[in-house]
Amino acid sequence: MAYVIGDECISCGSCQGECPVGAIAEGDGKFEIDAGTCIDCGTCAGGCPVGAISQE
């Protein structure tokens, strides 16, 4: 199951820098994770300061 970024996202970009496969990009109002690229490592969730990232 891929990770997803919820509405709590504050668009700080910390998750994008944490992703080892480049699955995170800035979307419309928040960052988004490409489920097809995500390897379910959870690194992004650990780096999110507001806890906006969870498994789908």
Note the pLDDT tens digit of each residue in 10-36.
Answer: 999 999 999 999 999 999 989 999 999
How far apart are alpha carbons 52 and 39 in whole angstroms? 18
Residue 17: CATH number of its domain? 3.30.70.20
How far apart are alpha carbons 12 and 39 in whole angstroms? 22
pTM value is: 0.89
What is the reported pLDDT for 2? 86
**How many separate domains does the chain show?**
1
How far apart are alpha carbons 37 and 11 in whole angstroms? 20
The residue behind tokens 């709590």 is 8
List C-alpha distances in Å: 24 to 28, 48, 49: 13, 12, 16
- Residue span of the structural domain in which 44 resides: 3-55
